[in-house]
Amino acid sequence: MSSAEISSDSPIGIMHAGNVGIKLEIVVIPVSGVDHMKRFHGDLGWRFEIDCTAKDDCHLTQFAAVGCS
């Protein structure tokens, strides 16, 4: 099996990465309350990075988990 194939032996198709470095970069989470979300992630100790309105109906806010690279 190569380093990024899905195992046919697994009933749920778990991907085996082998020597490939995998890290989570971005997660998009729709929320109904931006202010509540900002307080929540700030209380977790996450670093605030971006807050902007891209369109009338698209508000973008970005946090980074501290200690993750």
31: tokens are 């929320």
Interval 6-65: pLDDT, tens: 455 555 555 555 667 777 788 888 888 889 999 999 999 999 998 988 777 788 888 988
Could you tell me how many residues make up the chain? 69
What pLDDT is recorded for position 57? 76
What residue ranges do the domains of the chain occupy? Answer: 23-69
- In our burial notation (b when 16+ CB lie closer than 10 A, e otherwise), range 24-61 reads eeeeeeeeeeeeeebeebeeeebeeeeeeeeeeeeeeb
CA-to-CA distance for 6 and 15, rounded, in angstroms? 5
DSSP state of 32: S
